[in-house]
Amino acid sequence: MQEGFFDIPELVSLLDLYLHPPDLLSCIQVNRTWNRLFTPSLWRIIDDSTDTWVDLVEGNLQRSTPISPSTLASEKKARDDWLFGIFAKYGHHIQHLKIQYIIILQAVSEGGTCKGLKSLVIGHGRRYMGDLPEFVYRPPPLPLPFPVLMNQGQVFQAGGLFGAGPVAGGMFGATPAIAGGGLGAVPVAAVGGLGAAPAVAVSGFGAAPVASCDQAATPAPPRLTFELSEPKFPSHLRAADVIPQIVGLTYTDESRKALAEYGWINAQHLWHLVRTNLGLTRFDTNKRGPLVLNPVSADYAYSTLRTLNNLKVLDCRKRFRRTEFWKLLECLPEGIESLSVDCGLFPLPEPLPGPRSSLRVLHAMGTTTINGLLTLLEVFPNLTHLDIGQVASNPSEPRESSSIPLRPSPKSGGHSLRRLDSFLVEDWDTVLRHIPSIVEWSNETELCSTDVPVLNERFGPKLEALRARKLPASLDDYPGSLSYRDPTNQFLVTHSHLREFDSIENFIKVDEMLRQPWACMGLERLTCRIVGVERLNKDEEA
C-alpha cells in the first residue's frame, strides 16, 4: 500500500511545492524510496548564493586560525573533488541554475550530465573561488612624471591616463590618441592601465596613435600573444572564438598570461554548458565581468543564439563583442520576451523589419530622436520597458541618420510602454503626448534635474512607480503648500495609483505616516528612510 502511494510522481511533485530545501533534505533521509522520489526535487533548483551552498563551498577554507599552504591546498582539492563528483552524479536533475562561484560552473560543466537546464544565471557574486590568479605588480622602469598639459588639443606628455613614460597622446578624443593607456582595450594587445609603462601606444575611442608634440614617437613593441591551453571542448568552443582581456602593463607578463588562461578556461565551461542545454528559456550572464568570463566573437554569438529556439530572456551584456543589434535580433526566436545587450539600436535599418510583438523588455544603447523612438516602438509594439541612451528632440530639419521620418499617424506603437529609462530625455512633454501610457519614472540614470512640481505636472496622479535615489528638488525640502506636513507622505497621498516608491535617500515621518489615511492603498513597495520613531505612542510602536 505504501509502496503504491510513494511511487506516484504526480503526488510527490505536488508535495514538494510546499517543501523547502531543509524539508527535502529530511525527506530523502527517511528511506531509499523517499530518497529516490525526492532527490530530483532537491536538485531541481540550485542557487549557490544560499547559506547552505556557501557553507558547502567555503567550508573549512574560511578559518580564523592560519594553516599551512599544503594543508589548505589539500582541503581545496578534497572540496573540488567532492563538488565535481556530486554534480556529475546529480546534474541531470538540475533545471534552474544560478551561479556565483566559478568552481560550481566548472563542476557542472565538467560533470557532463547537466543537459536539462531551463535557466542559467551567472550571478554577481563577490566570490570567485576558482583560483583567480594573483597579479604580481611590476614597477615601471622610470619614476612616474607628473602629467603636463600641453597647449594643442589637451595633449598629455608622459603617455597613459596617469602617465608613465615619454609617449604622448590625447585624452577623451581631444587629440586622437592615448599612449599606453586609453579607455577601451583591444584584445590581446598590451594595454596600459593606471600608470602604464612606456613605449606602448593604444588609441582611445577608435583614434590612431600620434607622436609626441616635442619628441619623436617611440616605436611600439610587437603585440603580446599568449599561448593558451588546448580546448577542453573543441566541438563547442575554439580559441579563435574568444576575445582575451589583458590587464595593464603594470603587471608581469606571467600574471597577464595567467589571467588570459583563467578567462579562457571559464569561457569554455560556460559555452559548453550553453551548447549542451539548447532548451534554455533564460540566459543571463550580465553580472560577471569580461576578465572572469572572456567575451566571444560576433560570429560565435550569432551561431549559438540560432540554436536556442526556446529562449525567452537573454541578458548578454559583457559577453559578446562587436555584435550588431539587428543582426543579433534575427538570430533570436520569435518568442523572445526580454533582451538586454550592449550594442547600438540606431540608426534603424531601412526598410524596417517586421513587428516583433513578443518583446516586452529591451535594454540597449544608442541615441535617437523622438521620431526615432516612436518608429522603434512600431517595430516592438508591445514593449512595456525600454532602456536606451538618449532621446533628443526632433531636429528642425531631418538631417541625422537616426531620425527616420515619423509616419503621419502612428498606429499602436508605444501604447503598451509603461517605463522609459534614459540618461537624458530632452522633451518629456512631447514624449508623453505621443506615449501617454508611461506611468513609471526613474531618475537613477537621468542627468536632468526634475523637481516635484514638474513630476506632478508631467504624470499627474496616474504615476504608478517612482524609483530615484533622491528627487533633485528634495521631497523633504519642498516649499509651499506642503511644507506644513511631511512632503513624502503628501506625495504618497496625492498619487493614488502608486505601487512602488523606491527612494532610499528620502525621509518619511513615520508618526505622520501612521496617522493619516493614504490614498495609495495599492502600494506594494516602499523604500525610504524613516524618522520620528521617538514620537510614536505605544500603540503605534506595536
pLDDT, one tens digit per residue, over 2-19 is 454 444 555 565 666 666
User: What is the average pLDDT value for the chain, to the nearest integer?
Assistant: 71
Work out the average pLDDT over 284-299: 78
Identify the pLDDT of residue 337.
Answer: 96
Burial category of 227 from C-beta neighbours within 10 Å (exposed 0-12, middle 13-18, buried 19 and up): exposed
Identify the pLDDT of residue 358.
Answer: 94
> What band does 334 get if pLDDT is binned at 50, 70 and 90?
very high
Work out the average pLDDT over 105-117: 93
CA distance 392 to 236: 43
Whether residue 148 has pLDDT greater than 90: no
Identify the pLDDT of residue 495.
Answer: 74
> Does a structural domain hold residue 216?
yes
Cell of 201: 601606444
- Please calculate the CA angle 368-374-379 and round it to the nearest 5 degrees: 100
**Conformation bin of residue 530: beta by default, left when phi > 0, alpha when psi is -120 to 50:** beta
Which of 174, 195, 220 corresponds to the end of one domain?
220
99 or 290, which is more confident: 99
pLDDT, one tens digit per residue, over 298-319 is 899 999 999 999 999 999 887 8
Cβ neighbors of 479 (< 8 A, separation 6 or more) are: none
Alpha helices (H) in 179-252, listed in sequence order: none
CA distance 501 to 489: 11
> Does a structural domain hold residue 304?
no
| 496 CB-side CA count, 13 A | 3
Work out the average pLDDT over 141-166: 37
> Does a structural domain hold residue 486?
yes
Cell of 232: 577542453
Q: How much of the chain exceeds pLDDT 90, in percent? A: 20
Whether residue 455 has pLDDT greater than 50: yes
Asked if 119 contacts 68 with a C-beta cutoff of 8 angstroms, the reply is: no
Which of 188, 220, 252 corresponds to the end of one domain?
220
- Please calculate the CA angle 56-59-61 and round it to the nearest 5 degrees: 140
Residue 178 belongs to domain spanning:
137-220
Question: Considering its fold, how many domains does the chain have in total?
Answer: 3
Q: Which amino acid is at 477?
A: D
Identify the pLDDT of residue 61.
Answer: 64
Work out the average pLDDT over 10-32: 64
> Does a structural domain hold residue 61?
no
Q: Please, what's the b/e burial string for 137-148 (b: 16 or more CB within 10 A of its CB; e: otherwise)?
A: ebebeeeeeebe
Whether residue 439 has pLDDT greater than 90: no
CA distance 339 to 179: 36
| 527 CB-side CA count, 13 A | 12
The most confident of the ranges 165-169, 253-257, 259-263 is: 259-263
Work out the average pLDDT over 419-447: 80
Burial category of 122 from C-beta neighbours within 10 Å (exposed 0-12, middle 13-18, buried 19 and up): buried
Identify the pLDDT of residue 471.
Answer: 52
pLDDT, one tens digit per residue, over 219-234 is 554 556 678 889 999 9
Cell of 245: 582581456
Identify the pLDDT of residue 107.
Answer: 94
- Please calculate the CA angle 180-181-186 and round it to the nearest 5 degrees: 100
Identify the pLDDT of residue 116.
Answer: 94
> Does a structural domain hold residue 482?
yes
CA distance 303 to 323: 12
Cell 503621419 belongs to: 408
| 445 CB-side CA count, 13 A | 10
Whether residue 37 has pLDDT greater than 90: no
Whether residue 362 has pLDDT greater than 70: yes
Identify the pLDDT of residue 110.
Answer: 93
Identify the pLDDT of residue 395.
Answer: 78
> Does a structural domain hold residue 315?
no
Work out the average pLDDT over 345-369: 90
> What band does 135 get if pLDDT is binned at 50, 70 and 90?
low
DSSP category for residue 401: T
> Does a structural domain hold residue 275?
no
215 or 39, which is more confident: 39
pLDDT, one tens digit per residue, over 163-216 is 333 333 333 334 333 333 333 333 333 333 333 333 333 333 233 344 444 445
Identify the pLDDT of residue 459.
Answer: 75
> Does a structural domain hold residue 68?
no
Which of 195, 220, 245 corresponds to the end of one domain?
220
